Amino acid sequence: MPQHFLLSATSRTLSLRSIYKAGEDAAYQTFCEMRWPETDGEAVCPCCGFDEAYKITTRRKFKCKACHHQFSVTSGTIFASRKMDFVDLLAAICIIVNASKGVSMVQLSRDLDCQYKTAFVLAHKLREAMAQEVHTGEVLEGHVEIDGAYFGGHIRPENAKADRKDRRLKQHQTGKRRVVIAMREREGRTLPFVGMSEGEGVALANENVSRIATMSADEASHWDELHLGHHVDRVNHSEIYSDDGKHTNLVESFFSRLRNMVRGQHHHVSPQYLHQYANHAAWLEDNRRTDNGTLAKIVVSNSMAAPVSRQWKGYWQRAA
């Protein structure tokens, strides 16, 4: 039997030891190279695009020779106004990409010896960077599976049976239940969305799946409408899971990863951030056979290309 990819040496190309051994200057250099790949890490002014700048080495800043604008390697990116050392940022990225089902923020804060808040915001910024690769704006093609899975809104039953309420009734629900609707190409990308009911998936499919693609869905009646716009294979899960190529097993794998992530690592996620965890799981799913050094590079490069986060910049200051 061939060796599983994740057990092979080719899947391990980066380690915390190598990051800390190389040190802060090497980590800084990595960020420069990822920010300005076209000049091999030489600063390019974000203001006017001029590629010559004075180096203010003591503060790790640059001053444009043309327009005198001062900037740093993280200016205008998702890491703008960072306080953490570059070597710690790289270590955080390494820990996060190594965790195939995500990592809890308490654990990350212990690993990095930073506050829980710092870890929480940092991880959410990284998820935002990953989401750029998940939500590319391109339509899904080939064979696309669609399904939904509900998360959250659990109501704990009362201790005594006499006190228990009917949890199926709307007035007894918390209003925090959401559905993750995912579409997954048999050979390619996974695209998740968060909604209130699974039926919203029909409109999402019409928007995000090519008209000539074949789709697979389960027996739920709201998918009947999919037949209007697409060729759809249906599989009845009460009878069979896979019927001669008709199945939704790949999209179920994505839900399995997301469920393990939420249940096993985060324990609880707020409905307003569920889409971020879904994007994280989709990114991990799509990159499941990529070595960890490349994964870390992809995340750094995406972070350097991602604009300042509107949601996460100054998050705790605003929430306080």
- Structure-token pair, residue 178: 């959401």
Q: Which is nearer to Zn ion, 6 or 67 (CB)?
A: 67
Q: How far is the CB of 50 from Zn ion (least distance, A)?
A: 5
Q: Which is nearer to Zn ion, 65 or 110 (CB)?
A: 65
Q: Which is nearer to Zn ion, 47 or 114 (CB)?
A: 47
HSE-up (13 A, CA, CB side) for residue 317: 4
With beta carbons less than 8 A apart as the criterion, state whether 104 and 88 touch.
no
Measured in degrees and rounded to the nearest 5, phi and psi for residue 171 equal -65, -15
Contact status: 69 vs Zn ion (CB under 5 A): yes
Cα torsion 26, 83, 112, 279: sign: negative
The C-alpha atoms of residue 237 and residue 241 are separated, in whole angstroms, by 5
Q: How far is the CB of 62 from Zn ion (least distance, A)?
A: 9
Of residues 13, 20, 36, 50, which one binds Zn ion by CB under 5 A?
A: 50
**Residue 71: which of 91, 50, 92 has the closest Cα?**
50
Q: How far is the CB of 66 from Zn ion (least distance, A)?
A: 5
**Residue 134: which of 245, 234, 240, 275 has the closest Cα?**
275
Q: How far is the CB of 49 from Zn ion (least distance, A)?
A: 7
With beta carbons less than 8 A apart as the criterion, state whether 284 and 217 touch.
no
Of residues 16, 56, 67, 155, which one binds Zn ion by CB under 5 A?
A: 67
Binding residues for Zn ion, total number by CB under 5 A: 8
Ramachandran region of residue 175, left (φ > 0), alpha (ψ -120 to 50) or beta?
A: left
- Structure-token pair, residue 22: 């190389």
Q: Which is nearer to Zn ion, 64 or 131 (CB)?
A: 64
Q: Which is nearer to Zn ion, 51 or 133 (CB)?
A: 51
Q: How far is the CB of 45 from Zn ion (least distance, A)?
A: 3
Cβ neighbours of 265 (radius 10 Å)? 17
Q: Which is nearer to Zn ion, 45 or 89 (CB)?
A: 45
Q: Which is nearer to Zn ion, 71 or 193 (CB)?
A: 71
Q: Which is nearer to Zn ion, 69 or 177 (CB)?
A: 69
HSE-up (13 A, CA, CB side) for residue 21: 5
Q: Mask of contacts with Zn ion, 10-49, x by CB under 5 A?
A: -----------------------------------x-xx-
Q: How far is the CB of 299 from Zn ion (least distance, A)?
A: 28
Site for Zn ion in 92-131 (CB under 5 A): none
Cβ neighbours of 96 (radius 10 Å)? 22
The C-alpha atoms of residue 300 and residue 298 are separated, in whole angstroms, by 6
User: Which residues, other chains included, contact 155 with Cβ-Cβ below 8 Å and sequence gap of 6+?
Assistant: 165, 167, 172, 173, 174
Q: How far is the CB of 1 from Zn ion (least distance, A)?
A: 58
Contact status: 155 vs Zn ion (CB under 5 A): no
Piece in contact with Zn ion (CB under 5 A), picked from 64-72, 169-177, 240-248, 287-295:
64-72
Piece in contact with Zn ion (CB under 5 A), picked from 67-75, 91-99, 163-171, 255-263:
67-75
**Footprint of Zn ion (CB under 5 A):** 45, 47-48, 50, 64, 66-67, 69
